[in-house]
Chain A
Amino acid sequence: MSEDEIRTRVALADWKEHRFFGHAVFAELVGNTSLTALYSLAVTGRMPQKETVRVLDEMAATLTVADPRIWPLKVSRIAACLGQPILGWCFGALSQDRALIGADVPREAAKWLQRYAAARAAGESRESLLRTVIGDRNYLVGFGVPVRSIDERVECLKKRLRILRRDDLPHWCSFMEVAEAIRDRPRMVPNIAGACAAILLDCGYSPLEVGNLVPVLPQHTFVANAVEASTQRSHLLLRLPLKDVSYEGPSARKSPLRLRHEKGFKD
């Protein structure tokens, strides 16, 4: 390969047909592939198994928590109130860049969970691993839920995994094992990022792929808020009334130049 070229496996545009990760778009993908399968292919370069696609669809549906007050969705809402839905979904997505609620979280959860499950399979004890993974801290990525005492999406996924007969797979079992071991610690409730990490590891995704795939699955929640906000164009989001803004910054003061000017010195 010449150093003036970039190698890509993603796609090639042709006159009558296009290629996407080695697949003919019209001849192979159309009529045979769902949206979540395409997302998985986009992130990994591999066509997922049908069972994996079912899992992805159920995760995407479970992640349909689209209340406009949820902070990244609020960003979407505010951005789109200016009239363009694309601003809503772009800036809503951007609010997750290296954020507390974004790709980093499921990826980091997947990393320690993968190491934990492998060590358990190799015979290391739960107690020893827990000391390594969490020690005495009251924080572990994949645990912790704002505002409420349980993550209802995790409870939903628990039931779905039982129905799909995927609740006995190694990473999910490890995640539940850790959750049980630390459930008496404050705020250490399993959250959706950790649950998604475990489920996707059991589907064969790497931690990096987990981090890239999880943020894509709830995009419909951003789209819904962006579309509605762009239609409503609410004046309340365009600009909050002044009475709803409370100034807490530095007190009123005068600059040195202003003081000189007021004393009669020429600038």
Chain B
Amino acid sequence: MSEDLFKAVKWPLKLPARIIEPGKEPRIQGYDVNEDLARHYGFAEVMILALTGELPSREESLLFERLLVLLSPANPGSAPTHAASVSRLCGASDAAIIATTAGLLAESVTLAEVSHLGWEENSLKHALSRIMRDSGFEPSWNDDDSLAELISTVLTACGLTLDWQRTTALTLAALPAAIAEASSWVRGDFKSYPMNLPAFRYEENEDE
């Protein structure tokens, strides 16, 4: 009779939950979702609460809300949206489309290239400066700073300093529009897709 490897070790008996308290009156980071958060705060503020453990100041929440809006247009030709669009063409489920978009957006933003965005770079830099000032912050960057560095500065001003917090925020910002773009494709309409974009050229290994 086999000896169960996993029964030989003493494991915790319960799954610990540290952020979300589920039940009749669920809480996030200790705050009652129904009686407190839903009555007095918007979704962007609850996002910061979930990610950092603390509610943002008014200035931080204004800035964050505006940042999310600015970063919402994903580029239709960028990897996350493009991959999800082709998946839709194949007839993949909504869950598959959403997972593909979210997963690849998260990967895109961790590359610190923000290649997923549908902005011309200088236009976005100007827009980021404007939302900082409008929200009561002074933009503290140089003209030759990269777009990724500017976004990083704004996220820091919003209280998001850890990589996973920033990845979550940037992913969620672009997610709805990217999913909508992918879902605009008609299932099975293969003839509407530019098959040779980009072009591939097959080459054989001459040593084989």
Interface residues of A (CB under 8 A from B): 12-15, 17, 19, 67-69, 71-72, 74-75, 78-79, 81-84, 87, 90-91, 94-102, 146-147, 234, 236-242, 244-245, 249
Contact string, B100-126, partner A, CB cutoff 8 A, digits 1/0? Answer: 100110011001010110000000000
A13, B2: Cα distance in complex, Å: 9
Contact B87 A240 (CB under 8 A): no
A247, B193: Cα distance in complex, Å: 14
Does B77 interact with chain A (Cβ within 8 Å)?
yes
Cβ 8 A contact of A237, one of B3, B79, B184, B202: B79
Cβ 8 A contact of B92, one of A83, A97, A147, A242: A97
Interface bracket on B? 35 or more
Name B's interface SS. Answer: loop
A249, B185: Cα distance in complex, Å: 12
A84, B111: Cα distance in complex, Å: 11
Does B58 interact with chain A (Cβ within 8 Å)?
no
A17, B1: Cα distance in complex, Å: 11
Contact string, B71-113, partner A, CB cutoff 8 A, digits 1/0? Answer: 0000111110011001101111101100110011001100101
Contact B197 A91 (CB under 8 A): no
Report which residue of A68, A239, A241 has the largest number of chain B beta carbons within 10 angstroms of its beta carbon: A239
A249, B2: Cα distance in complex, Å: 62
Report which residue of B2, B99, B115, B116 has the largest number of chain A beta carbons within 10 angstroms of its beta carbon: B2
Does B26 interact with chain A (Cβ within 8 Å)?
no
Distance in Å: Cβ of A245 to nearest Cβ of chain B:
5
Please indicate the chain B residues that have their CB under 8 angstroms from the CB of A98 in the complex: 91-93, 96
Please indicate the chain A residues that have their CB under 8 angstroms from the CB of B95 in the complex: 97
Between-chain CB contacts (< 8 Å), 21 pairs: A12-B2, A14-B3, A15-B3, A67-B200, A69-B200, A71-B86, A74-B86, A78-B82, A82-B107, A91-B100, A91-B103, A91-B104, A94-B99, A95-B90, A97-B92, A98-B91, A100-B91, A100-B188, A239-B75, A240-B82, A244-B194
